[in-house]
Amino acid sequence: MLERIQVLICGGTGCMSSHSKEIKKAFEDELIALGIKEEVGLILTGCFGLCEKGPVIVIYPDETFYSHVKVSDVRTICEEHLLKGRPVMNLMVNDPNAKTKIKQMSQLKFYAKQKRIALRNCGQINPLDIKEYIARDGYLALAKVLTELSSDDVIDEMIASGLKGRGGGGFPTGVKWQFARRSESDIKYVICNADEGDPGAFMDRAILEGDPHSILEAMAICGYAIGSNQGYIYVRAEYPVAVERLKHAINEAKEYGLLGERIFDTDFSFDIDIRLGAGAFVCGEETALIRSIEGYRGMPTTKPPFPAVKGLWDKPTNVNNVETLANVPVIFLKGASFFRSIGTDKSPGTKVFALGGKINNTGLVEVPMGVSLREVVYDIGGGIPAKRKFKAIQTGGPSGGCITEKDLDTKIDFDNLTALGSMMGSGGMIIMDEDNCMVDVARFYLDFTVDESCGKCTPCREGTKQMLDILNRICEGNGTLEDIDELERLGQMIKKTSLCGLGQTAPNPVLSTIKHFKDEYIAHVVDKNCPAGVCSNLTNFVIHDNCIGCTKCARNCPVNAISGWPKQIHTIDQDLCIKCGACKKACPVGAITSDVLLKEVSL
């Protein structure tokens, strides 16, 4: 019997943590009870991207988009929507501009400016069923490549497409493949770098969980191009769902003869094995990754020699990021010119960003290069929650820098972001508002890199720790103006002499925040005040004269530290205050700031 309705349930890690698997089970039970199990397809699919609204369910053929679904909603959906054809209104997304609900996924403003190429199958197919991948032209690109193109043709097409590495390096992928092709060796390797380590980044995770076959296909195409018969996917062990789905996908592909010996009856054979990471961010660096696969401590080695010449077990190796590979089948299905038609001249194609922080629509977005930051933050991201004021975007994670209001209209591409003192990185985009302390932000990122530094080279191992110690002192109230100069001096030196990308980019958040938010640093060291009210030693919340006496602050204070009559200016008892900042966020007129207290000296 043909299914008349299909229920796609998001099976990305985010929604799974919110019980989407239990939701699916509830559906199964409910449908059996209602006797309509045969008519309704239940598919656990990949990430839809609008994670803030998760758990997400999309029902076809009418493309109804349900958000924040709970197990207790399942019966209602089954009875009302699936059985009686009446979509459930209260599970739909509110239209922020009107009082109505938005029914269809494609009507959501979130998706309007996106172009899902790397994420093309995420949220559309069951990642555990190879037939669904094949139904959406899966493995067709590989077939075309193996039967119609030579290895050189493949490289030429990749170069023509202009695809650049999406893991952070931004190196032209076709050229990288060409280097590996030109290295002479009977054994070569293709490695997929799935060690996604930037805090807050989950682009690669979504692709691995939602569309694992796209990676397998891409790696096989790469193998054919460079002359390799063995691929490795190095996945971080903290992605167990991705590991499971990849293993399953590899087995299925082998069963179907799409991996293994003589694929499509040609002379080309390709096998893929999985290698797990063990909790080290530095193993996302390609040479450290290679050492890790070889069984050594994951510590980077100097380049040259580059992996394309001397990589895994000293053989020519091509290492590519997950998102980079996800684009490859599309280039061969639709052609390099199609790919070039999207994005900008210097940065063709799209980029997946993980929107996080102070943004309404947290989740994954894929936009063509050339879209402006403002569009991403406001049109797609839905702006800052609770009407707080935008302060900065951090792109590129712990390797990147911050971008301020004045540069929001910058069109996103590799060169533009680097010119702003930040970088594209792997796609993490954290939005900050007035309640974020930029000194604390720099400290947060540096704390991460200090913890993750492998320790091999002097500047990164010792230098970043010195910088962190200085930042800690600043945030505790023991900083000086000389400290800010020292941070810059250390930062510049570490950038210039570190052995690998981790060290070379670790000072970026600090240097970038000093450049754009110097006044905040000065407030910390001179005034001993944290204007954002984050660094508790330097935070003194004060209610100013523009207080309208609405009592909202007092009502939100968890320790009853605020007193005042209605319509009168309120005051905070500093001895009771725990510096949580709830009052500052609650105040409708911005009358509460963290300011230097004027202390009276009593003799």
Partner 1 sequence: MNKLNITINGLPLTVSEGKTILEAATEHNIYIPRLCFLKDIHEEGNCRLCSIKIEGDKQLKPACKTMVKDNMNIITDDQEIYDTVSMNLELLTHRHHFECFKCSREDNCEFLDLLRKYSIDNEFSQLYGQYDEQNYYYQDENGVMIIDSSKCILCGRCVSACEKLSGLSVLNFNNRGNKTYVGPALFHDLADSGCIYCGKCIQACPTGALREKDDIKAVERALRDKTKKVVVQVAPAVRAALGEAFGLPIGTDVEGKLFSALKALGVHEIMDTNFTADLTILEEGTEFIKRLENNGPFPMFTSCSPGWVNMLELYYPEFIGNLSTCKSPQQMAGALIKTYYAEKMGYDPKDIVSISIMPCIAKKAEARRDEMGRDGYKDVDYVLTTREFSRLIKRRGIDFNALEDSKPFGMLSSYTGAGVIFGATGGVMEAALRTVSEILEEKPTPIEFKELRGNQEIKEASYSIKGQTINVAVVHGGISIKQFFKHLETTDKTYHFVEFMGCVGGCINGGGQPVVKAQIQEQVDVKSLRAAVLYKIDDKANLRKSHENQFVKELYDTYLEKPNSHKSHELLHTTYQKRAPYAKID
Among 457, 525, 532, 562, the residue binding partner 1 under the rule CB under 8 A is 457
Among 450, 523, 547, 554, the residue binding partner 1 under the rule CB under 8 A is 450
**∠ at Cα 339 (337, 344), nearest 5°?**
100
For partner 1, the closer of residues 13 and 453 by Cβ is 453
Whole-number Å distance between alpha carbons of 49 and 361: 9
Whole-number Å distance between alpha carbons of 372 and 416: 11
* Contact status: 602 vs partner 1 (CB under 8 A): no
Q: In angstroms, what is the minimal distance from the CB of 494 to partner 1?
A: 9
* Contact status: 85 vs partner 1 (CB under 8 A): no
For partner 1, the closer of residues 131 and 496 by Cβ is 496
Whole-number Å distance between alpha carbons of 126 and 283: 30
Could you check whether the bond before residue 329 is cis, i.e. omega within 30 degrees of 0?
no
**∠ at Cα 494 (490, 500), nearest 5°?**
165
Q: Which two tokens stand for residue 369?
A: 């290069």
By DSSP bridging, strand 317-321 and strand 350-357 are unpaired
Whole-number Å distance between alpha carbons of 499 and 301: 8
Among 290, 490, 557, 561, the residue binding partner 1 under the rule CB under 8 A is 490
Closest C-alpha among 88, 85, 92, 103 to residue 66? 92
Among 211, 452, 520, 595, the residue binding partner 1 under the rule CB under 8 A is 452
* Contact status: 472 vs partner 1 (CB under 8 A): no
Q: In angstroms, what is the minimal distance from the CB of 457 to partner 1?
A: 5
4-12, 451-459, 509-517, 587-595 -> range binding partner 1 (CB under 8 A): 451-459
First-to-last alpha carbon distance for the chain, in angstroms, is: 91
Q: In angstroms, what is the minimal distance from the CB of 399 to partner 1?
A: 15
- Residue linked to tokens 């510590």: 299
- Residue linked to tokens 């190429």: 117
31-39, 159-167, 267-275, 300-308 -> range binding partner 1 (CB under 8 A): 300-308
* Contact status: 113 vs partner 1 (CB under 8 A): no
Among 489, 518, 544, 567, the residue binding partner 1 under the rule CB under 8 A is 489
* Contact status: 588 vs partner 1 (CB under 8 A): no
Query: Taking a C-beta distance cutoff of 8 angstroms, is the pair 541, 581 a contact?
Result: yes
3-class secondary-structure state, position 172 = strand
Q: Which two tokens stand for residue 60?
A: 């076809």
Query: Taking a C-beta distance cutoff of 8 angstroms, is the pair 16, 22 a contact?
Result: no
Whole-number Å distance between alpha carbons of 488 and 521: 12
For partner 1, the closer of residues 96 and 455 by Cβ is 455
For partner 1, the closer of residues 266 and 458 by Cβ is 458
Q: In angstroms, what is the minimal distance from the CB of 421 to partner 1?
A: 15
Q: In angstroms, what is the minimal distance from the CB of 527 to partner 1?
A: 22
Q: In angstroms, what is the minimal distance from the CB of 443 to partner 1?
A: 16
For partner 1, the closer of residues 197 and 343 by Cβ is 197
Amino acid at 363: G
Could you check whether the bond before residue 316 is cis, i.e. omega within 30 degrees of 0?
no
35-43, 50-58, 198-206, 460-468 -> range binding partner 1 (CB under 8 A): 460-468
* Contact status: 447 vs partner 1 (CB under 8 A): no
* Contact status: 571 vs partner 1 (CB under 8 A): no
110-118, 221-229, 326-334, 455-463 -> range binding partner 1 (CB under 8 A): 455-463
Non-local CB neighbours of 598 within 8 Å, separated by 6+ positions: none
For partner 1, the closer of residues 279 and 590 by Cβ is 279
* Contact status: 475 vs partner 1 (CB under 8 A): no
Non-local CB neighbours of 513 within 8 Å, separated by 6+ positions: 401, 402, 438, 439, 441, 442, 520, 521
Among 301, 360, 472, 551, the residue binding partner 1 under the rule CB under 8 A is 301
* Contact status: 484 vs partner 1 (CB under 8 A): no
Among 466, 472, 556, 593, the residue binding partner 1 under the rule CB under 8 A is 466
Partners of 42 in the β-ladder: 7
Closest C-alpha among 115, 136, 114 to residue 125? 136
Give the chain's count of helices (H) and strands (E): 25, 19
* Contact status: 153 vs partner 1 (CB under 8 A): no
Its sign, for the CA torsion 10, 14, 18, 19, is: positive
Q: Which two tokens stand for residue 591?
A: 């009358």
* Contact status: 451 vs partner 1 (CB under 8 A): yes
* Contact status: 561 vs partner 1 (CB under 8 A): no
* Contact status: 237 vs partner 1 (CB under 8 A): no
Q: In angstroms, what is the minimal distance from the CB of 451 to partner 1?
A: 6
Q: How many residues bind partner 1 (CB under 8 A)?
A: 32
For partner 1, the closer of residues 288 and 437 by Cβ is 288
Whole-number Å distance between alpha carbons of 502 and 479: 26
Q: In angstroms, what is the minimal distance from the CB of 404 to partner 1?
A: 25
By DSSP bridging, strand 101-102 and strand 93-94 are antiparallel
Q: In angstroms, what is the minimal distance from the CB of 444 to partner 1?
A: 16
- Residue 16, Cβ neighbours under 10 Å: how many? 20
For partner 1, the closer of residues 109 and 456 by Cβ is 456
Among 221, 280, 431, 439, the residue binding partner 1 under the rule CB under 8 A is 280
Among 380, 499, 557, 583, the residue binding partner 1 under the rule CB under 8 A is 499
Among 399, 453, 505, 539, the residue binding partner 1 under the rule CB under 8 A is 453
3-class secondary-structure state, position 145 = helix
* Contact status: 456 vs partner 1 (CB under 8 A): yes
Positions that interact with partner 1 (CB under 8 A) = 280, 282, 297, 299, 301-302, 304, 450-459, 461-466, 469, 489-490, 493, 496-499, 504
